[in-house]
Structure 1
């Protein structure tokens, strides 16, 4: 009886220690998650650089970390300092519209389909602009509050990404030992054969999600660059690169093409503003809902509906981390249920009847 009590006391102490460690690490969960994810996604590059440097792991880790700082952190921080300028420009535009109204309609508008109706609507809005702004003011306040909340989330996401770039150095340097430690825990829990299966399942799912996120971000950056070239936006390449970087965080691309559209309208380039607004909403932002699930489901044995549920349900449940956690959790659960169903089917299916003759099928 005493041995049982001693073992129970040891288990309680171990559980208390584990809870205390998780409590300490709780504020850094998202940062450590992004650092581990970035190290996992770029590990082939880490291997090549380590081999080129003659096995100097720490030096290779430092070089890659500095490279990520320049490529990712610098544009994000620069954008964060310029968000205030975008907000001031939007406030100035609204104030000028209240005082001066709209400028005269462009001459080419009359040549568009329904051109006369568009010119008449333009003049009506210009004549009743003050009353219109007063009537839509409550909705503008709601939109402003929504933008404020999402701007705060964007700032939090940028801070997490910058901090994760600091911790990624340690994942680069100690990644193999950490992976070996996790695999040893899996061996103790579920055995070598099953642990290898689920290790490959989780690694493959995470790799496909990473490829989907990065591939979609690259597509959005390229499409944004094309749109900026069409409307002849100054610094189109820089804005395209920044769109690629911000595509890695929720609601990132609209923070580029919406201010660009407003700026074009401010410069009285109304055709370019209309084109960029449509291009940004339906193409730049719309491709995220099509390309990302396709890339994530490609190359795996998961049904597309499971991937979609994992992506969107994970985002709703865990935030942006759910983009990776959702498909991974559903992939493991789907594999467990499939294996269990196959084993149960083998148990209940009766053996094939034989009459003593060999099976010639």
Structure 2
């Protein structure tokens, strides 16, 4: 008994020390969790490209290979984002001066087809007449509204700055994941094997297949839908089709988000009086863009993993609610991993009951 108590006390102290260290480590690293997870997702999705670079440049040149891959990611992601920001800024300035001139001159106008709409048309015309009759009052109201929402503008600027910092840390982590990714995976696999045993090999294989199917399924579907929708924007003569295509790609990551993009474009075309182009964008969107999801997703996701669409939808929506934009990938992956472990567990052969030896 005297030996047992010091042994128990030693285990309690050791466990307490481990828990304290875990808590302190989390307190230090919690601000970097989102960039690290983004880096893991990007590295996972682009790993086949990195393997191709390793074969061309030499598998022993870890730093060079990681640097080349990181530059490729920066040009692929950073340049479109920078182009989009510059374009939105220019378009915003042009729109501001255009609306300001119309307000000051009292020449605000709406398309004829809106003015001829039942119920809405007369009300819109009445409001427009009041605006044009007293543009100074409208200007004062607009400036008062902007002044009252100034704090929101500061909040938006602060969020943009924080996201730029997160992006920088993501790229930094991405470099080390490319360079040392295999070593980290081997260490992680060895640690799990010590805890769970050799059965972990089969679990890791199943989880890897499931994760790959979900990530590639969501990403590839969104990419194809964005490209198809972008073709219609280009043919219809929509301004800045590249930027709108990028927005479509982001919306396509969310279930039922793609129609929001091409329907908005169609409404804008209607507002410009280009009815034929608007109808063409809608027909192409519902007939080709949205139906491509029903072709690509079952091929990529529902192959041997057979993940229900309902699970993917709940994972995406719940992930966005819990984790933000990164939840688009985290949510479905978590639910898919739970489903994979559940299937493996119920399919394991039952252990035979113990039979005492015959005397």
Question: Fold conserved (TM > 0.5)?
Answer: yes
Q: What's the CA shift for 1:187?
A: 0.6
Residues 87-141 of structure 1 show CA distances to partners (whole Å, capped at 9, x for unaligned) of 4445455556653132673xxx6xxxxx99559976773454245999xx99xx8
Distance 2:194 2:98 in 1: 64
Match of 1:174 in 2: 180
Corresponding residue number in structure 1 for 2:235: 230
Aligned runs of 1:1-361 on 2, under 5 Å?
Answer: 1-55=5-59, 56-92=61-97, 95=100, 99-102=106-109, 105=112, 118=117, 125-126=124-125, 128-131=127-130, 160-193=166-199, 195-233=200-238, 236=241, 238-239=242-243, 242-243=246-247, 246=250, 268=272, 270-271=274-275, 274=278, 294=298, 297-299=301-303, 300-341=305-346
Q: For the residues of structure 1 that align with 2:205 and 2:330, how far apart are their CA atoms?
A: 16
- Matched residue SS, 2:175: helix
Segments of 5+ residues of structure 1 without an aligned counterpart are: 110-114, 350-361
* Structure 2 portions without partners, runs of 5+: 133-137, 354-359
The SS at the match of 1:100 is coil
Distance 2:95 2:285 in 1: 19
Distance of 1:94 and 1:337 partners within structure 2: 58
Separation in 2 of the partners of 1:290 and 1:70?
31
Q: CA deviation at 1:190?
A: 1.3
TM-score (norm 1): 0.71
- Cα gap change, 1:204/1:11 in structure 2, threshold over 3 Å: closer, same or farther? same
Instruction: Supply the RMSD in Å over aligned alpha carbons.
Output: 4.7
CA-to-aligned-CA distance 1:252-301 (integer Å, 9 cap, x gap): 989987997798689x5544785588579868996798678656632213
Q: Say how many residue pairs are matched.
A: 330
